[in-house]
């Protein structure tokens, strides 16, 4: 006792000081910081996910076949299966503004996308600034990735002046115009941006905790498109009750994952329960993105025909065939444009 009494003169005050410091840190630093983290971090994740959405819109526009129409490559874009060659091919029928519509041989085939790309680029720049304003709630990896995305987006000026710029150049009384009127010269830039988009896609799906309907749906499509069928099914089961109005959407992806993973009998069972009550007023066409893998499976067809007419099934087949043909025609057209513009590149500037 005498030894403890002697030592306690030093030990007890030390322990008391450490305990007091811990209490002070807990109530005046850790808890307020944790509370702020819980409030601010979801906003940061929402901004980063909106950046991801704007990046997706850029690539959907690059791969589009018609004005105001979604591209045929949305699944490839989200899942990381869009190649450099695909991006270059998609750019063949895209130009910056109406001033580039002076080549009568290709004018009717060109789509103007400068304004749309500029709008998304400005949104990304603004959202990166917004997210980095709360840098204490953004990880170092996220900061580096966001800065790389912003640098890439800024590499080409998509401001209003540049987007609306006339490419004609006057030299010695003559006006010259580029012979290649598309924006394929930005192909490498967009390919690099696409890799950054995929990094952001992976980061969001794996680590982000803030969830809303669009994020959950995107993550399901991402996991399915990456052929991660078991992970996709686990994700669906975990979040199924969060989207009561989208259960059929999630069940459809569950059926697809089962089917692709080799559990065909279980997939058929899911298919029966999904389409037994004729969703979308019996329109199989409305579910064509889900049903495409089943279109030549005899057992799946039999299940669909239990509560759907042969006319409804034939309408599904017809629209899928038409879309496949349209996609093929789009690729053929842009391949011809690629060949045409490659031939023009060896020529000097056109004099107007």
Query: What is the tens place of the pLDDT at every residue in 214-226?
Result: 899 999 999 999 9
Tell me how far apart the alpha carbons of residues 291 and 300 are, in angstroms, rounded to a whole number: 9
Tally of domains within the chain = 1
How confident is the model at residue 68, as a pLDDT? 85
DSSP state of 26: I
- How are strands ordered across the β-sheet holding 350-351? 169-171, 174-177, 350-351
The answer to whether 107 touches 335, Cβ cutoff 8 Å, is no
Percent of the chain with pLDDT over 70: 87
The whole model's pTM is what? Answer: 0.86
| Statement: residue 6 has pLDDT above 80 | no
244, part of any domain: no
Percent of the chain with pLDDT over 90: 68
Parallel, antiparallel or unpaired: strands 111-112 and 94-95: parallel
66, part of any domain: yes
The CA angle 239-243-246, to the nearest 5 degrees, is 115
296 — pLDDT class (breaks 50, 70, 90) = very high
Which are the contacts of 141, defined by CB distance < 8 A and separation ≥ 6? Answer: 203
Tell me how far apart the alpha carbons of residues 352 and 347 are, in angstroms, rounded to a whole number: 15
206 — pLDDT class (breaks 50, 70, 90) = confident
Tell me how far apart the alpha carbons of residues 125 and 127 are, in angstroms, rounded to a whole number: 6
295, part of any domain: no
| Statement: residue 284 has pLDDT above 60 | yes
7 — pLDDT class (breaks 50, 70, 90) = low
* DSSP sequence for 186-224: GHHHHHHHHHHHHHHHHHHHHH-----HHHHHHHHHHHH
| Statement: residue 302 has pLDDT above 80 | yes
211 — pLDDT class (breaks 50, 70, 90) = confident
Phi, psi of 176 (to 5 degrees): -115, 145
Domain span holding position 96 = 42-210
234, part of any domain: no
Which are the contacts of 216, defined by CB distance < 8 A and separation ≥ 6? Answer: 239, 242, 243
| Weakest-pLDDT range from 18-32, 118-132, 259-273, 301-315 | 18-32
220, part of any domain: no
H-state helical runs in the chain: 2-25, 31-62, 74-79, 84-90, 114-132, 140-154, 160-163, 187-207, 213-225, 229-239, 247-260, 264-275, 288-291, 298-307, 310-344
239, part of any domain: no
70, part of any domain: yes
How confident is the model at residue 156, as a pLDDT? 75
204, part of any domain: yes
């Amino acid at each position: 006792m005498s030894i403890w009494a002697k030592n306690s003169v030093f030990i007890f005050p030390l322990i008391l000081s450490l305990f007091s410091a811990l209490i002070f840190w807990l109530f005046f630093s850790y808890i307020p910081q944790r509370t702020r983290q819980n409030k601010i971090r979801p906003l940061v994740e929402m901004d980063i996910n909106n950046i991801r959405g704007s990046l997706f819109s850029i690539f959907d526009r690059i791969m589009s076949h018609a004005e105001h129409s979604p591209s045929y490559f949305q699944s490839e874009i989200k899942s990381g299966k869009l190649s450099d060659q695909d991006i270059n091919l998609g750019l063949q029928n895209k130009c910056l503004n109406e001033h580039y519509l002076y080549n009568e041989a290709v004018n009717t085939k060109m789509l103007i996308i400068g304004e749309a790309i500029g709008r998304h680029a400005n949104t990304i720049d603004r959202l990166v600034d917004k997210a980095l304003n709360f840098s204490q709630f953004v990880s170092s990896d996220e900061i580096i990735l966001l800065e790389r995305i912003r640098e890439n987006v800024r590499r080409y000026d998509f401001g209003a002046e540049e987007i609306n710029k006339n490419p004609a150049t006057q030299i010695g009384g003559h006006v010259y115009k580029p012979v290649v009127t598309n924006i394929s010269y930005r192909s490498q830039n967009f390919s690099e941006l696409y890799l950054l988009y995929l990094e952001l896609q992976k980061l969001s799906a794996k680590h982000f905790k803030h969830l809303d309907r669009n994020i959950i749906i995107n993550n399901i499509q991402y996991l399915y498109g990456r052929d991660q069928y078991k992970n996709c099914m686990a994700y669906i089961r975990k979040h199924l009750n969060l989207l009561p109005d989208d259960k059929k959407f999630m069940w459809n992806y569950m059926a697809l994952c089962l089917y692709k993973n080799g559990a065909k009998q279980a997939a058929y069972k899911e298919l029966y329960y999904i389409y037994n009550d004729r969703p979308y007023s019996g329109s199989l066409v409305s579910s064509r993105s889900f049903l495409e893998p089943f279109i030549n499976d005899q057992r799946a067809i039999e299940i669909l025909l239990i509560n759907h007419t042969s006319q409804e099934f034939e309408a599904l087949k017809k629209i899928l065939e038409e879309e496949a043909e349209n996609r093929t025609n789009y690729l053929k057209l842009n391949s011809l444009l690629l060949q045409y513009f490659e031939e023009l590149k060896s020529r000097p500037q056109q004099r107007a």
